[in-house]
């Protein structure tokens, strides 16, 4: 009856959202931007629902990359969420970002962002070397080509990173549909951003009323 310690739970990890900005998205080709935005909305919303410590970091926001996705701002408004802007491509090499991430005191780190082969590989491999347990939400990442994304994911898996998907992340946190305190928020999030799965929930809820 005891769940695996390798599973993610609301209180055993921190989420790091890296460079979900317009300029990075414009060149992303490994995933449709509409799908990427939905997946980013799912993981941002999930972390908000479950009060997961979440760090939002940008690169050259004012001078090059632009503001973060609206889906991130919906869960973590710019005015109140202390976004960390960097010049380094590797988030782990930025002092403010490093202190914010390690300051959560969470041994498990979940990463998502753009681009997979640069801005995710860097902190993922760096965190592994400092003995963190690292997860990457692969369908909330993207790169300039399928090849770039797939080789980056493959490289990280070979190094010991655990790949997960956006819906998997959300449902691993919910874990039990009897958790009524988060049930409505989770199903509402999926109705809005969960594609056909969300439509199924919407259908079921409405049909049950009849």
Task: Name the residues annotated as catalytic.
Answer: 119
Instruction: Please spell the DSSP secondary structure of 149-183, one letter per residue.
Output: HHHHHHHHHHHTPEEE-HHHHHHHHH--TT-HHHH
Among 57, 96, 64, CA closest to 78 = 57
- Are 166 and 140 in contact by the 8 Å Cβ rule? The answer is yes
Among 108, 86, 82, 87, CA closest to 172 = 108
Overall size of the chain counted in residues? 210
d(CA 188, CA 185): 5
Q: At residue 180, what are phi and psi to the nearest 5 degrees?
A: -65, -25
HSE at residue 178, side-chain half, CA atoms within 13 A, is 0
d(CA 88, CA 90): 5
């Amino acid at each position: 009856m005891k769940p695996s310690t390798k599973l993610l739970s609301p209180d055993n990890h921190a989420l790091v959202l890296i460079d979900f900005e317009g300029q990075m998205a414009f060149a992303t080709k490994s995933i449709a931007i509409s799908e990427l935005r939905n997946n980013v909305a799912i993981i941002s919303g999930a972390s908000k629902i479950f009060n997961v410590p979440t760090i939002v970091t940008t690169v050259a926001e004012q001078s090059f990359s632009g503001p973060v996705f609206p889906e991130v701002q919906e869960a973590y408004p710019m005015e109140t969420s202390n976004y960390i802007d960097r010049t380094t491509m590797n988030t782990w090499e930025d002092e403010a970002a490093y202190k914010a991430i390690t300051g959560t005191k969470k041994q498990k780190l979940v990463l998502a962002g753009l681009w997979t082969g640069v801005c995710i590989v860097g902190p993922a491999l760096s965190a592994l070397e400092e003995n963190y347990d690292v997860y990457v939400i692969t369908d909330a990442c993207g790169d300039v080509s399928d090849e770039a994304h797939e080789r980056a994911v493959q490289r990280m898996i070979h190094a010991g990173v655990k790949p997960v998907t956006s819906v998997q992340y959300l449902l691993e946190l919910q874990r039990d549909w009897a958790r009524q305190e988060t049930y409505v928020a989770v199903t509402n999030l999926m109705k809005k951003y969960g594609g056909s799965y969300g439509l199924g929930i919407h259908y079921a809820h409405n049909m049950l009323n009849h």
